[in-house]
Structures are given as C-alpha cells and as structure tokens.
Amino acid sequence: MSFLGQRRWQLALVLMVTFFVGFLDRINITFALPLMAAEYHWNEADTQRYGSLLMGLFYGAYGLANILLSPLAARFGPRRSLMTIVCLWSVFTAMGAWVSQWIMLLLASRVLLGLSEGVHVPMMTTATKTWFPLEERARANSIIVSGIFLAVLLAPMLLVPLMGQFGWRAGFLVLAAAGALVSLPLVYRFVHDSPERHPSVSAEEARLVADGREREAEEEVSGQLLRSLFTTPRFMLFFLIGICNNLMSLGLTSWLPTYFTNRRGIPYDEITFLVAAPYAFSLVGVALWSTLGDRYNIRALLAACGFAAAGVAIYIALNAESLPLVIACMTAAVFLFSAFTASEFALVQRILPMDQFAPAMGFYNGMSALIGGGLGPALMSPLIGDGEGTWVITAIALLTSVLLLVYYRMVRY
C-alpha cells in the first residue's frame, strides 16, 4: 500500500492542515500590528504595550485551556474535540475583525481564540500516539508540525498583500473562512480516534498499529495518578525545556514583522520576503531532523546541538548591520531550531503513559505556552527597541541545549 493510501499518514497530513490554519489564526495579529498601530495612531510605547497584550492574552488563555480542558476533550475523543474547536476558533477569529473598533472587545476575542485552540495540540498528539508506533512517531509528528512552518513561511506571502490591499481585518475574515470550509470537512472525513473506529482501515495497517501499541504499553507504567507525573524528573525537565523553547520561538515570531518595520525602517508592503526568508528551509530541517532522529534514535541529541548552534546564529543576526547577514543568520537559526520542533511531540509521547496522556500533554503544552508564550513577547520586545537585551535569546538557547543533553542521557530517545 502506498504512503498516501495508509490511513495513519492521511491522518497526519490532515492534522498538518489544521495546524497550518490554526497557527495562521494565532499569528495573524503579528502582521496586523503595524497596520493597527498606524490606524490607531499608537506610538512605539503603545505598540509594545498593546502588541504584548494581544499576543500574551492569547497564550495565557491558550495555556489555561490546555490544562483545564484537555481532560474533558479526552472524554470526547480527538475527532469530536477537533471538529468542535475548529468551529469555535473560526468564529472567534472573525470576531476579532467584527469588534476591532473596541480595544477591550478585541482583547477579549484573543482570549476566546486562545481558549478555543487550547486542546488542539493535546488531541492531535493523542491521535498520533494512538495511530503510530514509536519507530515512526518523529516522522509523523514532523508532518504535523510542518503546519507551523508552512504557516510562518506562507503567512507573509498570504497576509501582507491581503492586509495591505484590503485592510488587516480582511486577513482575519479569510482565515475564519478557511477554518470552516477547509479544516472542518477534512477532520470529519479523515480523522478517527483509533484504527478500530475507522471504517476502512486495512487489516495489515490495523495490526501494525496494534502491535506498536502493545510494545509501548509493556514499557509504560499505567495507572499512575496524574499528579505523580509532575514529580517525575524527566517529565519536569522536559517541561522546562518546552518553556525555554516557547520563550524564544513564540517571542521571536511575534515581533519579527514589527522588527523589520520599526527597527530596520522597511515599509510594510516590502517585508514579505524578509519575514518569510528565515523559515524557507524550516520544512527541509523538519524532514531531515525527524528522519535522522527516527533512524539513529538521537532525537534529543540532535535538538541539543541545534539549539546551541542556533543561539550563536541569533546573536550574530541581532548584532549585524548588514541586512543580508541578518537574513542569512536568521534562516540558519530557524533551520537549527527545527531539530527540536521535529521531535518535540515524539519526545513527550515517549515518557507519558497512554492512560494519562491527554491531561499530562495538556499540562505540558498549556503551561509551557502560558509561561513561554505569555512572557515571550514581553521578553523579546527589545527586538523592536534599541537592541539592548537581545543577548537573552542566545542565553536561553544555550541553556536549552544543556537541558536537552541531560534529557538525552536520561531517556536515550
């Protein structure tokens, strides 16, 4: 049976599409912000304050929803949960355009969007852990998280011309329609909670998946209380790693368009290539690192090396005067950061038992996003100022590299 003919890989591709659309919904504010600042006559201080609020409130709500709603979503199962949240986040994305003349309601729409997207990752990773054996999981997850890089890569090409021509609200409305008209039908057609519930999975594929689950279950400690996982050293270590990653990746992504317009003085309609270029090789990176990780069982080690080298590249980029050098180093950094993104979910899936996976994954993804995503935009706001304090990004990258080396010694995965 061909790759595309296998139901588990079809599921991974559909989840990638939902991640692509969902991530566009959350980062659309970064492209709207320069236009909002001009429309509302915000100065630099206002832009930093309101921009940090619009980004931080989303991740605060997103993190809480991961923690509080994942156990409920687990009861409904990935399929029904994903269908529900796609509908909700489409409505709340559109709401951001409808109520934009009132800043408090605009902020509220970001909170609601964060709440609606909160269980997306826990449900996707639950489905992946159910459908894919260990030896395929990094590649499966890399397909799904490619939706993030596709979103970041294509967002400037899609949103900058759209928002520049028709206003920033048009970008919100188009993305809301994409969720309802693209993501929702795909989830309904292709996503099922398990092979046993799929109407047309082959006996061969069902047996492969079942054998993989049995092998993994033999190594898991089932029946643990959820709270006991939070005192497990390897889980809490990876939780700290996830926070550090979100501080850098979400903070950097949030401010990059404004960095080029404010710090570099480049007109808004000319930033399309500059914002997209650093992510041009991210998809290649995800494919490369996940393949190497699955083949040689060195996922955490590759991620550690990637963070260390990326930290150096970021430092050079943010202290360079030459714009081509900035772009080259940013591109190298994103390529290297993708070593972690390619295996993040696989590394978490490796240490969490199936019977507690959804709530534990919700805690991990929620708290790392709540802390990392909530503080990241504020911590990285010097990017659009005078440049003081940008060394913090490199310091966090090097710290994360050390933590991943420790994690690799503990898990060997």
Each residue's pLDDT tens digit, 166-175:
988 999 999 9
Instruction: Label residue 263 by pLDDT band (50, 70, 90).
Output: confident
Each residue's pLDDT tens digit, 305-350:
999 999 999 888 878 888 889 888 888 988 998 899 888 988 988 8
Instruction: Give the residue-averaged pLDDT of 80-109.
Output: 91
> Residue 384 pLDDT more than 90?
no
> Residue 388 pLDDT more than 70?
no
Q: Which one, of 108, 160, 140, lies nearest residue 11 by Cα?
A: 140
The mean predicted confidence, pLDDT, of the chain is 85
**What pLDDT is recorded for position 222?**
54
Which region among 65-79, 129-143, 338-352, 371-385 has the lowest average model confidence (pLDDT)? Answer: 371-385
**What pLDDT is recorded for position 271?**
75
Instruction: Label residue 2 by pLDDT band (50, 70, 90).
Output: low
Number of H helices, E strands in the chain: 18, 0
Specify the DSSP class assigned to residue 6: S
Each residue's pLDDT tens digit, 229-241:
777 888 889 999 9
**What pLDDT is recorded for position 266?**
82
> Residue 242 pLDDT more than 60?
yes
Instruction: Give the residue-averaged pLDDT of 79-106.
Output: 91
In whole angstroms, what is the distance from residue 215 CA to residue 225 CA? 22
pTM for the predicted model, two decimal places: 0.78
> Residue 403 pLDDT more than 90?
yes
The CA radius of gyration of the chain, in Å to the nearest whole number, is 20
Instruction: Label residue 87 by pLDDT band (50, 70, 90).
Output: very high
Instruction: Give the residue-averaged pLDDT of 176-184.
Output: 95
Alpha-carbon distance values, 24 to 13, 28, 44, 182, 388 (Å): 17, 6, 25, 13, 30
φ and ψ of 247, to 5 deg: -55, -45
> Residue 85 pLDDT more than 60?
yes
> Residue 182 pLDDT more than 80?
yes
* Residue 104: half-sphere exposure toward Cβ, Cα within 13 Å: 0
Domain 7-194+202-411, CATH number (from 1.20.1250.20, 3.30.70.890, 2.30.29.30, 3.40.50.720): 1.20.1250.20
Each residue's pLDDT tens digit, 44-73:
778 878 877 887 788 888 888 988 998 899
Each residue's pLDDT tens digit, 269-286:
777 777 777 777 888 888
In whole angstroms, what is the distance from residue 165 CA to residue 158 CA? 11
> Residue 4 pLDDT more than 70?
no
Count of all residues that appear for the chain in the document: 413
CB 411 within 8 A of CB 234: yes
> Residue 19 pLDDT more than 60?
yes
> Residue 385 pLDDT more than 60?
no
Instruction: Give the residue-averaged pLDDT of 379-384.
Output: 62
**What pLDDT is recorded for position 412?**
84
Domain boundaries, the chain: 7-194+202-411
Instruction: Label residue 224 by pLDDT band (50, 70, 90).
Output: low
In whole angstroms, what is the distance from residue 7 CA to residue 11 CA? 6
> At 237, which amino acid appears?
L
Q: Which one, of 313, 289, 325, lies nearest residue 138 by Cα?
A: 289
In whole angstroms, what is the distance from residue 342 CA to residue 144 CA? 9
Each residue's pLDDT tens digit, 185-213:
999 999 999 888 888 888 888 888 888 87
